[in-house]
Amino acid sequence: MSDTFQEPLCSTCAARLQSVLDSLESDQLGGFETSKKCGSYKKGESIFEENDPPEGVFCMHSGKVKVFKTGDEGKPQIIRFAKPGTILGYRSMLSGEPYTVSATALDESIVCHIPKDTFVAALEKDTQFARRFMEMMSSDLDQAETQIVHLAQKPVRERLAEALLVLKKIYGTENGDTSPLDVTLTREELAGVVGTAVETLVRTLSDLKRERLIATDKKKIRILDTEGLIRVGNLQD
């Protein structure tokens, strides 16, 4: 974590308005502002890791982060992607148990750390905030359960199509609709999202390229035919 950047303020933080912290009462907000510590993370830098002791939660101010869990054989499985406004590491804060997932920057990112006491106090004092927070947890859980079903029942090809669409939805594209996804992952990372071997991932990507659904340029991926991918992914919803 490096230190040369402008420390953001919660009160004027655009990312906050995208997050579960949007409705925070101003008295709580002050507590956040004075107790938080923000850090800048370069691409590849770790924000927290499995088994680390939790001391609060992280709130993303800018950048992109992958949240993953390491399997028995050491292979990382990407559980979810975070963007500005996302709260990370809340589970361990609540349970007091060490982190069960790791978070690593995918890009230059600024991530703030809010001490447990501050956060818990806000949860206790601001009912509306607590409510929003629970809704966020619900939504994370719902997403995880959908992921379970897809991993159990869909073939790699469908999961890959879905993963690409998810990346588009979360991080968007650089310019127009068919311009490159505004995030770059290694093939290994993408394999870790889809839950497959790197070689299989590469082959399946090639298939999609051959079908003109996507195009690749270096590490950049462009989605040429969103509808087509939805069809491939069997995603009616």
Partner DNA sequence: CGAGCGATTGAAAAGACTCAACCACCGTGG
Partner DNA sequence: CCACGGTGGTTGAGTCTTTTCAATCGCTCG
Q: Give the residue, chosen from 23, 128, 139, 206, that forms a contact with DNA under the rule CB under 7 A.
A: 206
Rounded to a whole number of angstroms, the minimum distance from the CB of residue 48 to a second copy is 15
Alpha carbons 66 and 89: distance in angstroms, whole number: 12
Complex with a second copy: residue 110 or 191, whichever CB lies closer? 191
Rounded to a whole number of angstroms, the minimum distance from the CB of residue 127 to a second copy is 5
Complex with a second copy: residue 8 or 233, whichever CB lies closer? 233
Q: How far is CA 29 from CA 24, 87, 118, 127, in A?
A: 6, 15, 10, 14
Asked if 98 interacts with a second copy (CB under 8 A), we say no
Complex with DNA: residue 19 or 196, whichever CB lies closer? 196
Alpha carbons 68 and 137: distance in angstroms, whole number: 17
Rounded to a whole number of angstroms, the minimum distance from the CB of residue 223 to DNA is 16
Q: How far is CA 237 from CA 5, 146, 160, in A?
A: 41, 12, 16
Asked if 220 interacts with a second copy (CB under 8 A), we say no
Complex with DNA: residue 44 or 176, whichever CB lies closer? 44
CB 161 within 8 A of CB 194: no
Alpha carbons 87 and 107: distance in angstroms, whole number: 17
Residue 156, by phi and psi: left (phi above 0), alpha (psi -120 to 50) or beta? alpha
Asked if 102 interacts with a second copy (CB under 8 A), we say no
Q: Residue 45, class by beta-carbon neighbours within 10 Å (0-12 exposed, 13-18 middle, 19+ buried)?
A: middle
Show the site string, 9-48: x = touches a second copy by CB under 8 A, - = not: ----------------------------------------
Angle at alpha carbon of residue 68, lines to 166 and 137, rounded to 5°: 70
| Binds 35: which of a second copy, DNA, none (CB < 5-8 Å by kind) | none
Asked if 51 interacts with a second copy (CB under 8 A), we say no
Show the site string, 177-216: x = touches a second copy by CB under 8 A, - = not: ------------------xx--------------------
> What values do phi and psi take at 103, rounded to 5?
-130, 130
Interface residues with a second copy (CB under 8 A)?
69-73, 75, 77, 79, 90-91, 94-95, 100-101, 123-124, 127, 130-131, 133-135, 137-142, 144-154, 195-196, 234, 236
Interface residues with DNA (CB under 7 A)?
155-157, 186-188, 195-200, 202-206, 216, 218-219
